[in-house]
Chain A
Amino acid sequence: MMSLQKATLFALYAVLELAEDTDRQLSASEIAERYNISTNHLAKVLRDLGRAGLVESVRGAGGGYRFCGNAKRTTLLDVVQLFEEVGTGPSSGIVQETNAGAALSQVMDEIEEITYATLLSISIDTMLKLMRKRRPEKPTSTGLFRAV
């Protein structure tokens, strides 16, 4: 039920793409093209990731961004929380003062807690393992997640 905001999703794409090969530098436009997303929006997200110490920009010819975080210590939650709040208490819009609202809130909180625990327990390194398991890596210039 949880859907990630665009900026969060872009950040995760960028972090995972760059963390796959920490020696490699990719520009915002290269990553954006790969995922078929807005370069301008991604560039802003990359600046946020840079401020958080997860990526660094490399100037000059062949420059771009590279991952500079600790893949084993950085969790999905660390990235997600840069852009949106997770596990912040009672679901918004639910009227807590009613029995139905309180019961609904209890269920929504349960979902939220599971989401929080899941994002907190999965490191970038674990994600990279999952990615390698799911598909053999091959360079492509087309959007990996483009709708067809």
Chain B
Amino acid sequence: MVDAAQDTPGYNLVTIGEHKINIRPAVKEDLPNVVALDDRTTGLRKPDYWDDLFTRFGNRKDLRFFLIAEEGDTLLGCIFGEVRSWEFNSVPCGWVGTVSVEPNLRMGGIGSVLYKEICRCFRKAGVTKIRTMIPRDATDLMSFFRAQGMMAGPFIQLETDMEEGA
């Protein structure tokens, strides 16, 4: 399914069926399409969020990665993640912040291609473990990451409502 067209992690040309899908780091001009994709996916329009995220992720090629998948000029999906190591006793790992694919193209392999490509970026950055955190009820997303081989890790997310004065 995947033909590595370029050796540089973050760049790839992938064939899925008859579709030639280009993977590359996001550029500023992609943001309107990314915002629209997010809107179609989540029902929330968040241009400021994506602009901020691009500022933090899009310009950092070493530890932060914001990749998009496109066919021709059409955005099909995106993924971002970073190398982080701030959790308790956590060695550096690749952390996937989000992955998003055009709703009517899901389960077609685009998300997997994006995931594999960001893994290549993480490996180049020197990490061998990849993590993410998703809501328990985000079934599709959870199934997607499970299908990539992810299992429950050694961390459990905890939270509480802060009491008055805490």
Contact A72 B152 (CB under 8 A): no
Q: Does B7 touch A at the CB level, under 8 Å?
A: no
Q: Does A125 touch B at the CB level, under 8 Å?
A: yes
For the complex, give the distance between the alpha carbons of A126 and B139 in Å: 14
Task: Given A72-B107, A129-B149, A133-B149, verify A117-B143 contact (CB < 8 Å).
Answer: no
For the complex, give the distance between the alpha carbons of A128 and B71 in Å: 31
**Which residues of the other chain, A, contact B149 by a CB distance below 8 angstroms?**
129-130, 133
Name the interface residues of B119-155: CB closer than 8 Å to any CB of A: 136-137, 139, 142-143, 146-147, 149, 152
Contact A118 B152 (CB under 8 A): yes
Q: Can you name the residue of chain A whose Cβ is closest to the Cβ of B141?
A: A121
**Which residues of the other chain, A, contact B142 by a CB distance below 8 angstroms?**
117, 120-121
Contact B107 A117 (CB under 8 A): no
Contact A129 B139 (CB under 8 A): no
Most central of B136, B137, B146, B147 by chain A CB within 10 Å: B146
Scan A45-66; emit 1 where CB is below 8 A from any B CB, else 0. Answer: 0000000000000000000000
Contact B147 A125 (CB under 8 A): yes
Q: Enumerate chain B interface residues (CB-CB to A < 8 A).
A: 107, 136-137, 139, 142-143, 146-147, 149, 152
Subset of 5 A-B contacts with CB under 8 Å: A117-B137, A120-B142, A121-B143, A122-B146, A125-B147
